[in-house]
Structure formats: C-alpha cells, structure tokens
Amino acid sequence: MRKTAAENTNFRLKAVLDVLAEGVLSGDPQNAGAVLAEALVRVPLNAYEAELLSGGIPRGHKSLTTATAKLVRAGWLIKGRSGWTITDDGLRATVAFPDAETFSAALDAGTPVPAGTPLPVAAAAKPAKKAPAKAAKSEKAPSKTAKVVDKAAQLIEDAVAPVAKAVRGKKAAAVESSAEAVDQPQAVAVAGDFNTLLGAPENWAPQYDEAQMELDVLDQLWKLSADIPAGYYTFKIALNRSWEENYGAFGAFDGANHELQHDGGQLTIRYDHRTRDITVN
C-alpha cells in the first residue's frame, strides 16, 4: 500500500532516533546532517517528496527537518549547541516502539514510553584475536654512515627553511586575500522568537537594530552574542533587514527554522555567508 508523505516523514523520524541510538551504543555519534541523510537513505523519497523547492532542497528533506520538532516535544531529542542528542526516554522509545508503524502511531497520539522500558543494549563485540608477540629488536648504536646522513639532512632542512617560510607567507597572503574577496551582504539579522529578549519591539522582525549581527573582518563571520534564559528557540538568518533573502537549517534558502535548546546564559551565533549556515556555542 502506498504511504502518504506524512507517514513517510514519521517513518523517517523513527530512522532519526534509530541512527542517534546506534551512535550512542557504538560510541560513534553522527552530526545532525549525517543523521538526516541516513534517515533519507533508510526511507527514500518518492517522486513528490524529491521535488526541489525554491531553495533547492527536496520537499521531503524540508518536511523531515521541520518534523524533528515533534521528537523534541516528545522529550526524545534535544537540539543543543553541540548538536542533536537522543535522551534516555528517546533511547527507550526505540525499544518500546520497535517498528515504524507503532512508532508513528505513538508519536501522533503523544503516547509516552511505558514505565519500565529498558534502555537498548549494544550487541556484544567479539574479542579480537591477538597477534603473536614479536621479539623486541635490540637497538643498535647509530653507525658513522647514519650520522653523516643525519647531518646532511639537517643541512638541507636549514637551507630549505627560508624558502619554506616565504612560501607559507605567500599562502597566508592568498588566504587573507580570498577572505577579503567574500561578497558580504549589507546586513545580517538573527530573526526569531527571542528578538524581544534582545530588546527588539517584536519577534521575527529582521529590520530592527537589536537583531543585527556584526561582521568580524578577520574570519569573515557574522556574529551575535547575547545572554538569554533557558528555553527552546527557533530562528532564521535574514539578509539586508528583510525576508526577501533568508536562510534556515543547513543553509537552505527559505528553509526550515533553525532550532535551539538553550540551557540559559551567554550564547554566540555565527553566520558564514560562504556556506549560508550557522554555528552556535
């Protein structure tokens, strides 16, 4: 039976939790982009979902990015400064709702994870076979030939050092020149549901001074630092004090909102116009 786009999105949310859980159990967690990519591999896009939206992002990808907020509301996922983290309740959800259908039904109905559900357990790894120990070789005193070679190598290194320094200087100048060549917008704003906490008259309004970021000419990043209360926040990057050009999650034009679970206190949002994406710490 053909599944609807909404059903596919819920199945991908199950895959998101599964991938995050596998990362915890294996000790090799994935970043948010890799998690979403793997979810799309496990539940491929159909023709409708694969259609590109105005920002060049597939419809199904944008739907999935937006829908991950359901995992946050369920208490199964935390979106923090350092990335996405599956909660203990989220880990238990992968056990309580092991298949896509029961998971989807529980998520839509707001069904909590049953009390007493255990955490998933990683499969026991097979002990690695040890290679037979090799007898240690006794160290020999350096021969006269080796001493001559070492001295020659040192002389060559000393002769090359000034040239290498000059080359490094040219490379650094080239990097600096390329940084200066970045075509930056006139203004960049963090427009979201916490602008009033920054002193702006209203939220989601990129025209106000309080929402504007400052360009660091050294690293060519736009930055905004603020001290805000703990909470769950959403925002976008808007250029030139309007919504005409804006970027959301993963740098997608007119994409889904950036989401942030903040513990409270100082935070800094950085926007890189070369990638149209952000970092938060």
**What stretch of H or E contains 59?**
helix 59-73
Largest CA distance in the chain: 81
What was the pLDDT predicted at 124? 46
What was the pLDDT predicted at 225? 94
Q: Which fold has domain 188-280?
A: Immunoglobulin-like (2.60.40)
What was the pLDDT predicted at 177? 46
What was the pLDDT predicted at 271? 95
Write the CATH number of the domain with boundaries 5-109.
1.10.10
pLDDT in tens, 52-111: 876 567 888 888 988 888 999 999 999 876 678 999 999 999 999 999 999 999 999 999
What was the pLDDT predicted at 37? 87
- CA dist 260 and 254 (Å) reads 18
Is there a contact between 224 and 246 (Cβ–Cβ < 8 Å)? no
What was the pLDDT predicted at 109? 93
Segments of the chain with pLDDT less than 70: 1-2, 54-56, 81-82, 123-181
258-262 vs 231-239, strand pairing mode = antiparallel
**CA atoms 30, 33, 36, 39: torsion sign:** negative
CA 207 from chain center: how many Å? 28
Locate 90 and state its tokens.
Answer: 């989220």
Locate the domains of the chain by residue range: 5-109, 188-280
- CA dist 231 and 264 (Å) reads 7
